[in-house]
Structure 1
Amino acid sequence: MGAQEKPQGNANSMQDAKSSGIIGINVLCSVYRLNDDGKWDDQGTGHVTVDYLEMIAYVIIQRSEELALFVFDEEDNETLLSHRISPDDIYRKQEDTIISWRDSEYCTDLALSFQENTGCSYIWEHICKAQRNMHFNSLSHETFHAMNNELRELPAVELSTLPIILKIVTESSLADQMQLTELILNDQAFFQKLMELFRICEDLEDVDGLHMIFKIVKGIIMLNSPQVFEKIFGDELIIDIIGSLEYDPFVPQVQEYRKFLKEHAVFKEVIPFKNPVVLSKIHQTYRVGYLKDVVLARVLDEATVASLNSIIHLNNAIVISLLKDDSTFIQELFARLRSPTTSAESKKNLVYFLHEFCSLSKSLQMAQQLPIFRDLMNEGIVDIITDALQSEDKKIVLMGTDILILFLNQDPNLLRSYVVRQEENLLLGLLVKGMITDFAEDMHCQFLEILRSLLDSVTFTGAQVPILIFYFCLQLLNFGRWEIVDSYSHATNYHMVRVGSNLLVFFIV
């Protein structure tokens, strides 16, 4: 006995007909058939659904894996249409409310006319989804490898070709990956089209399409191509790229990376940047770091992580180079830090920025770093740090000590020469005071490390040796040396005890 097709739900009640199928919503449409006179005959109005065909084989009803369009009359639930969805490109969407096609089984043209645009779009996307699945299943390994070995260009980026693109990206050999990278780079519109498709799938809540795009984007990132990174991490694409990675099929819930970047990762431009490249590179650096440390932290290999770190490092160097060459920017930064009209909040942000600027200067080559620190010294950065060390905000104090350590690591004599010349030795006094102030132990270590480096005789030059030690001893006497000794006798941090003991040598009788 052969297998006879039977529309699912044909014998069900009206309510069952409306609720059957896989689309999950009630869509009303009219069915039209083109007659021999070239006119459209109205076949009736009913509820349309996409569902699996049932097969009657050997008196047993079985569900097939083939999807079909069913339209059930809205009054008596009779079947107005039963159409097996074809993988061929026969369907056309017209005027946002009509889907038509040439039905080879009935040798005639059929059309569905929908009352609402949303219903038409919903059924259209389910037809496209069914076609994609059929293309995906029909693409055998033999066909894929034969195609891949002769790959000369990528398929057009469309919903129906996503399965093929996914196979090419995820199943290519090492040699094929090099060819794939070249093809992606040669197709100037590839990523724009892929992201346009991503936005369409997101608007239509096409989960299968979103999952495929996630895998494609992840696979392309894993190609670890600097030229590809340059394209996808540009201002035009990077937010959509990160958005496409929100739809990981192996994570139960959709992530909200873009929401975080929009609402929480807001860059405070304490001083406007004249060069737009600076702000662009700052944004790119943060987003690439976020992608590396959060979005794809579980899947990136060491080589790709190293490449992303290189992008971040290079961006930092570019930003610092552009800012250091803008003399007016540095002058305005220090002018605002010194201005009595600058609010406490603004001054705090400026100190944070100055700390970041000094930290990122290490991204430059050694020969370029020293001139920057000298320029900052000439602009009066130590006066700014001296003010920071007197702040009630411990975070600002910590920023100040961090900057001093950066200077000492670069060239201790830069800071020593300033301390020797400073009136009343205010900075040195604040450092000694910091040792006996009730800070956290980590901050104590910061003060101790600074003093140890300042008084390190190995790196002393000229007359700084006796003068600086003399000033240091005076400050110790001002605060009482036994108070300092007592503070370190109760220390629990080994590094703190070790550095402190080195300092105490200077006033042991």
Structure 2
Amino acid sequence: MAEQEGRDAEAGGDAAAAAVASHTSSMQRVKVYRLADGGKWDDQGTGYVSIDYIEGSKELGLTVLDEDDNDTLLMHNITSDDIYRKQEETIISWRDREAATDLALSFQEAAGCSYIWEHICDIQRNLQFSNLGALEVGPRQSSESLEASRIMHSNDDSFRSANGGEFRELPPVELSNLPFILKTVLEAGITDQMHVAELITQDNDFFPKIVDIFRMCEDLENIDDLHMIFKLVKGIILLNSPSIFDKIFSDEFILDIIGALEYDPEVPRVQNHRAFLKDHVVFKEAIRIENVSVVSKIHQTYRIGYLKDVILPRILDDATLASLNTMIHSNNASVISLLKDDTLFIRRLFARMRSSDISMESKRELVLFLHEFCTLSKSLPLVQQLRLFRDLSGEGVFEIISDVLQSQDRKIISAGTDILILFLNQDPNLLRSYIVQQEGNSLLGLLVKGMVTDFSEEMHCQFLEILRILMDSFTTSGAHRDVVIEIFYERHLDYLVDVIASSCPPRSLSRSSSNSVHVGGNAEGHCIKPEILLNVCELLCFCVVHHPYRIKYCSV
């Protein structure tokens, strides 16, 4: 019996030695760096790194021995935590939580860096697999863990085609297979990424099963598996597949996907994104949208923006970020396109805004909705933008804006001037035509009075910009532009001249130290701020440059 035990021990020792040999790297020359308090990387020395069992421990780790005296420069236990980063071709860095510092290895050769990185990834997968308890319940020896890693690789290879490269299929979506699926997603190269994404989208049960596993783990408060699901969902998003985005941002899966992203292993507390979306985000309709597809697109666009800007801002790479922005842009274009083609919706909107029995709050929401509608129209092709603005002009949008500019609410006045600038940037003749046909020319008068009204500095500039574009002599000439210029000189120039003239104190009075000046005469006695006077002067100078033949007949 003792003899048999001796042979078993000897065999076990040989197996352990073989396992160690498979994980012990050839010596790779590196520099060791430690991040100092001032944010500077301190050189800790040069040596040779290997992966082996840490002395006095049954865990695998990184050991760096000094190239001169063989002293230990670094000893680090490799963990399953997602702390390791490969930067460029020759650097591996991580956050050592025990030492409370950041460490980095700078390799002399890119091949050596890749060799060590692959071994770190192998050991991490092995540890994650061990945590699942799929092979054995309870603690296991390191040699057994290495054997589990071998089994996992064998299982992984069974899902590949005969050439050992392309995946034929994904493992069945089960809790025990999550490490395999995670490995497949995280290690896919550029070519494999497209194929893995295709396999995921072709499997109609993939996301329903992932969601079921997530809900089960959450009910059981299985934090380790929830961390793994977080990594898997993050990896799937980083596959950057439009067909995958269509699935995960659908109403069916989005809340569970967001729920999975609440369990970031690098964040000490579980986040509450779903609670925020359910309890604090309210979809307010200024006017009811009957088209279900439009409402769905609006919800989806908000969720994409929330995931991009709140949940994963530090994780998304440039390519995925660009794809999400493109998706948001496409959704906006789709929403605007569907609404602009709904003639009944536009008419209901304007009829509601013209109504005399709506509250100021409702009117405010309608104006802000119209402002957002016009702003998002920039996502449409230019031809469709022009057609939309012409349709809105025909429905009476400028009458609505005239009423808005007479409001006491500065926010909707600012929205009104923004809308006018959008129209002018698209086709100035739409607004010019309205001003020419308008009886009493009240809109042009409101714009001129807006220049000398005590709004914010930004709004003063908006009024100035609108008047400049309306009377710009460098644009294509047209009868409407010339008529607008004539109306301005005949009815409104004197008003602005009075503003400047009345602001000058009589010579007998000492210059006031006040920040405002008094205006009388035709400009209705009140105080005018210097920045308002500056804008008036800028407009008069603009007139001198663009209309010298007209301005010379005015006594300024």
Q: Do these two structures clear the TM 0.5 threshold for a shared fold by scoring above it? A: yes
Query: Which residue of structure 1 lines up, in the alignment, with residue 134 of structure 2?
Result: 131
Pairing partner for 2:315 from 292, 299, 314: 299
Structure 2: which amino acid aligns with 1:277? S
Structure 2: which amino acid aligns with 1:453? I
Report if aligned partners of 1:273, 1:279 keep a CA contact under 8 Å in 2. yes
Query: Which residue of structure 1 lines up, in the alignment, with residue 474 of structure 2?
Result: 458
Q: Render the CA deviation track for 1:326-350: whole Å, top value 9, x for unaligned.
A: 1111111111001111111111111
Q: Secondary structure at the match of 1:457?
A: coil
Report if aligned partners of 2:248, 2:254 keep a CA contact under 8 Å in 1. yes
Give distance in 2, aligned partners of 1:413 and 1:246: 52
CA-CA distance at 1:476 after TM superposition? 3.4
Give distance in 1, aligned partners of 2:442 and 2:332: 33
Q: CA RMSD in A?
A: 3.2
The answer on 1:440 being equivalent to 2:443 is no
Compared CA separation, residues 431 and 439, structure 1 to 2 (3 A): same
Structure 1 runs not aligned, ≥5 long: 3-61, 66-126
Pairing partner for 2:542 from 477, 502, 507: 502
Q: Secondary structure at the match of 1:459?
A: coil
Give distance in 2, aligned partners of 1:155 and 1:493: 73
Alignment of 1:167-182 (within 5 A): 167-182=183-198
Give distance in 2, aligned partners of 1:460 and 1:267: 44
Give distance in 1, aligned partners of 2:258 and 2:411: 32
Query: Which residue of structure 1 lines up, in the alignment, with residue 494 of structure 2?
Result: 477
Q: Secondary structure at the match of 2:331?
A: helix
Pairing partner for 1:363 from 369, 375, 379: 379
Give distance in 2, aligned partners of 1:291 and 1:494: 45
CA-CA distance at 1:419 after TM superposition? 0.9
CA-CA distance at 1:144 after TM superposition? 6.9
Pairing partner for 2:168 from 149, 152, 160: 152
The answer on 1:337 being equivalent to 2:353 is yes
Q: Render the CA deviation track for 1:338-382: whole Å, top value 9, x for unaligned.
A: 111111111111111111111111111111111111111111101
User: % of aligned pairs identical?
Assistant: 56
When the two structures are aligned, how many residues end up with a matched partner? Answer: 390
Compared CA separation, residues 484 and 411, structure 1 to 2 (3 A): farther
Report if aligned partners of 1:195, 1:240 keep a CA contact under 8 Å in 2. yes
Give distance in 1, aligned partners of 2:177 and 2:533: 62
Report if aligned partners of 1:159, 1:197 keep a CA contact under 8 Å in 2. yes
Give distance in 2, aligned partners of 1:306 and 1:484: 54
Structure 2 runs not aligned, ≥5 long: 6-55, 60-129, 138-143, 162-166, 504-516, 518-527
Query: Which residue of structure 1 lines up, in the alignment, with residue 242 of structure 2?
Result: 226
TM (norm. structure 2) is 0.64
Q: Secondary structure at the match of 2:263?
A: coil
Compared CA separation, residues 128 and 402, structure 1 to 2 (3 A): same
Compared CA separation, residues 196 and 484, structure 1 to 2 (3 A): farther
Give distance in 1, aligned partners of 2:439 and 2:536: 29
Compared CA separation, residues 164 and 251, structure 1 to 2 (3 A): same
Q: Secondary structure at the match of 1:342?
A: coil
CA-CA distance at 1:260 after TM superposition? 2.3
Query: Which residue of structure 2 lines up, in the alignment, with residue 49 of structure 1?
Result: none
Give distance in 1, aligned partners of 2:539 and 2:179: 63
Report if aligned partners of 1:211, 1:248 keep a CA contact under 8 Å in 2. yes
Q: Render the CA deviation track for 1:271-313: whole Å, top value 9, x for unaligned.
A: 2222210100011111111111221111112211111111111
The answer on 1:236 being equivalent to 2:246 is no
Give distance in 1, aligned partners of 2:483 and 2:369: 33
Structure 2: which amino acid aligns with 1:146? D
Compared CA separation, residues 494 and 478, structure 1 to 2 (3 A): closer
Give distance in 1, aligned partners of 2:535 and 2:159: 60
The answer on 1:491 being equivalent to 2:531 is yes
The answer on 1:414 being equivalent to 2:430 is yes
CA-CA distance at 1:445 after TM superposition? 1.1
Give distance in 2, aligned partners of 1:492 and 1:387: 23
CA-CA distance at 1:132 after TM superposition? 7.7
Give distance in 2, aligned partners of 1:315 and 1:358: 15
Report if aligned partners of 1:449, 1:499 keep a CA contact under 8 Å in 2. no
Compared CA separation, residues 184 and 479, structure 1 to 2 (3 A): same
CA-CA distance at 1:477 after TM superposition? 2.2
CA-CA distance at 1:463 after TM superposition? 2.6
Query: Which residue of structure 1 lines up, in the alignment, with residue 91 of structure 2?
Result: none
* Greater Cα shift, 496-505 or 206-215: 496-505
Give distance in 2, aligned partners of 1:360 and 1:307: 18
Pairing partner for 2:417 from 401, 405, 409: 401
Query: Which residue of structure 2 lines up, in the alignment, with residue 372 of structure 1?
Result: 388
Report if aligned partners of 1:317, 1:363 keep a CA contact under 8 Å in 2. yes
Give distance in 1, aligned partners of 2:135 and 2:466: 65
Compared CA separation, residues 386 and 492, structure 1 to 2 (3 A): closer
CA-CA distance at 1:157 after TM superposition? 1.9
Report if aligned partners of 2:160, 2:169 keep a CA contact under 8 Å in 1. no
CA-CA distance at 1:149 after TM superposition? 4.1
Compared CA separation, residues 478 and 228, structure 1 to 2 (3 A): same
Give distance in 2, aligned partners of 1:497 and 1:223: 57
Compared CA separation, residues 362 and 484, structure 1 to 2 (3 A): farther
The answer on 1:289 being equivalent to 2:305 is yes
Report if aligned partners of 1:148, 1:168 keep a CA contact under 8 Å in 2. no
